[in-house]
Amino acid sequence: MTVDGSYRIHHLAPRLYQIVLAPPIEGFDNFIAAWLVKGPDAVYLVDVGPAVTVTQLSGALDNLGVAHLDYICLTHIHIDHAGAIGHLARRFAETPVICHPKGAAHIVDPERLWQGTLKMLGDTARAYGRMLPVAPSSIATESDLAAAPFQLLDTPGHSPHHYAIAAADCLFAGEAGGVCLPLASTEPYLRPATPPRFFLETSLASIDRIMAASPQTICYGHFGLQNDGMRMLARHRDQLLFWKKTLGSALNEGNSDLQQDYEGLVDLMLYKDPNLKGFKQLPPEVRGRERGFLLNSVKGFVGYLAHCREKQDA
């Protein structure tokens, strides 16, 4: 349902809500979401969006009658997923914040994270807004997690501080399963989320770890819900291997222009990868956004392939 011009709430399962957040960036209206579970055993939030949309998120929680959260879970600390965590931790001061141990220090003192994000994303980072620090006492402990109705799966690849969260009815994949955009009449658009630095074997192992949980339903960080979870994970696993083969062949052909032309490699993958076929169905402003992220994904793969060549030459 549409609640106002800033956020929307989708009731996708009996106890599952997708809260769609809209930062002030062209093409980002249907890209970022927080997931709310109002279960009989716990009420919890998975990801919180960027700092700039915290008013939207708070309004959605009010609309849904959420006065208490048992957990606030972060799949990872990138600021489009975790940027509002300092604000939420102030509103829900008694709620433990679940964050990967490798990321916890960066939400307690987010300055280094902020500077790195500025370097990587520039104006997009500025539009997302700065993260407020989280009090160390808010970080979840083992005792806080003892009764949690979900399992935390260590899933590095997109980032070293990444969890996928397996609940009874669905799995919150963050970006460990790629980026999946539902389309009206065809298979979803599916792309890698492989920013520099990227290591393929780590990502494949993470996908295998998720598949071992046999999820039927996947809630993606970006963006929707898919009911054929195992098939979508297998599709993404094959996609990563296809990118390795296709980009590796292009770079090994000795075309020096292509080796420096990341935009050309984006065009190559848009032409070759059937999972990206839906790109042409996306609105122009969304295609612009996606080209930017595809560029980062290509750079991640090119860096990985260069690393592989260095190891072979050593």
pLDDT at 80: 97
pLDDT at 169: 79
pLDDT at 259: 54
Single out the residue of 75, 82, 26, 95 nearest to residue 53, CA to CA: 82
pLDDT at 2: 42
Q: Which residues contact 78 (CB under 8 A, 6 or more apart)?
A: 117, 159
- CA–CA dist 167, 19 (Å, integer): 18
Rg (CA), the chain: 19
- CA–CA dist 47, 34 (Å, integer): 5
Say how many C-beta atoms besides its own lie within 10 A of residue 232's C-beta: 22
Residue 240: pLDDT band with limits 50, 70, 90: very high
Q: What is the mean pLDDT of the chain?
A: 93
pLDDT at 97: 98
Q: Which residues contact 100 (CB under 8 A, 6 or more apart)?
A: 74, 76, 77, 154, 161, 162, 163
For range 123-146, the mean pLDDT: 96
For range 172-196, the mean pLDDT: 93
CATH class of the region 7-313: alpha beta
Residue 1: pLDDT band with limits 50, 70, 90: very low
For range 283-291, the mean pLDDT: 96
pLDDT at 309: 85
For range 244-270, the mean pLDDT: 82
Residue 89: pLDDT band with limits 50, 70, 90: very high
Bridge partners for 127 per DSSP: none
pLDDT over threshold 50, residue 17: yes
Bridge partners for 83 per DSSP: none
DSSP symbol at 217: S
**Buried-state track 86-118, b at ≥16 Cβ within 10 A, e below 16:** bbbbeebeebbbbbbeebbbbbbebeebbeebe
In this structure, the chain runs to a length of: 314
